[in-house]
A and B are shown apart, each in its own frame.
Chain A
Amino acid sequence: RKEVEQDPGPFNVPEGATVAFNCTYSNSASQSFFWYRQDCRKEPKLLMSVYSSGNEDGRFTAQLNRASQYISLLIRDSKLSDSATYLCVVNPGGGGNKLTFGTGTQLKVEL
């Protein structure tokens, strides 16, 4: 089983749609969780951290369910510029500040 699993997509959605991405992680001791965005042939960029209580940043809402080892990202009112690959990222703990990346979910927002 992969440490971090995501549906690779692609998700093709019309502009203005709401889209949700899911992610599961295998290590129950994982300490911190993030969503990153990666554009084609570019480095990943932090979109938002994910907190146990859930958190929102503008059109983006992230949620964490530790019991189910499940993370989600909701994008409302999607824009063309949201087209990218969204990476679920987990700090597995155990020291060392390592990050484990999912393979990413590709989003294409269309007119």
Chain B
Amino acid sequence: GAVVSQHPSWVICKSGTSVKIECRSLDFQATTMFWYRQFPKQSLMLMATSNEGSKATYEQGVEKDKFLINHASLTLSTLTVTSAHPEDSSFYICSARSRQKYSNQPQHFGDGTRLSIL
């Protein structure tokens, strides 16, 4: 079945550091990838939608200069949290939508990245 790999799974770093998270679709081509953020006891909140070869579309309230998204190929999207601060600590999850005909899953999720900024 469709698999999405997300790396790293856990990051702890100092305030002011930039952190890059990778999301790869391993056995399918993903025309669209989504980036979510989830704070404790809250729902997944969509941050941005990324289409291969074009600029990402950010949700209201998400700073595009802080959360840089690159979707350079049909199998890879990256999210870079620039100059991260403690309030950016969260669980970041990517998902991918297959280019193929709609399957039983609307989106295939990565394992998530737990980001902790000290």
Binding site for B on A (CB under 8 A): 4, 8, 32, 34, 41-46, 49, 87, 91, 96-104
Whether A43 pairs with B34 at a CB distance below 8 angstroms is no
Q: Chain B residues near A4 (CB, 8 Å)?
A: 43
Q: How far is the CB of A14 from chain B (nearest CB, A)?
A: 24
Q: Chain B residues near A41 (CB, 8 Å)?
A: 91, 112, 114
Binding site for A on B (CB under 8 A): 32, 34, 36, 41-46, 49, 57, 91, 93, 97, 104-107, 109-112, 114
Whether B43 pairs with A32 at a CB distance below 8 angstroms is no
Q: How far is the CB of B18 from chain A (nearest CB, A)?
A: 24
Q: How far is the CA of A104 from the CA of B45 in the complex (A)?
A: 12
Which among B46, B110, B111 is the interface contact of A99 at CB below 8 angstroms?
A: B46
A sample of 30 cross-chain residue pairs with beta-carbon separation below 8 angstroms, ordered by A number, consists of A32-B106, A34-B106, A41-B91, A41-B112, A42-B111, A42-B112, A43-B93, A43-B109, A44-B109, A46-B104, A46-B106, A87-B44, A96-B49, A96-B57, A97-B32, A97-B97, A97-B106, A97-B107, A98-B34, A98-B49, A99-B46, A99-B106, A99-B107, A100-B46, A101-B36, A101-B43, A101-B45, A102-B43, A103-B42, A104-B43
